[in-house]
Structure 1
């Protein structure tokens, strides 16, 4: 859980970190009397490569259609590992009430 939280905070802070590095790099280039376009081009290339790598990692993530994942959990002090199982639902049945679902009581004023 802590690892997931740290990862989320890291991903959230990435744009701020990149912008800060960009500002520092362009300011130092302007102070040195150089043009800042090479730095801008390098930042654009770096962001493009990072975005492409992100989409490639998403595309290469192992997953199977119709399989659900139960995350790892702790019960009575024992860690139960994550497991994959076949999903019970079918996409074509979305919105159709289940036959075995309990019926809500009708509002009967009498």
Structure 2
């Protein structure tokens, strides 16, 4: 995914959409800068997807600390533990830090 995910976007959706003070991030997959799928283990693909979310957020002037909800679509229920381990789970802006709301 390019440094600015809106540059050269060939997908048929926007990486993000701003509505007032809210930013909605589209689903991200394990793709490289050219938009090609990068296969790997479940954990590697999850990390790459989260890295792509970071890039989309950065283009909007945000970080993962600004995330309030994560939807993860996982076919294999046994992978839910890996999803939790691979997903950034705390927001440093709250005290004590709390995980974002999630749907898996």
Which structure has the higher relative contact order (CA within 8 Å, separation 6+)? 2
Q: Larger Rg: 1 or 2?
A: 1
Task: Give the TM-score of the pair, scaled to structure 1.
Answer: 0.26
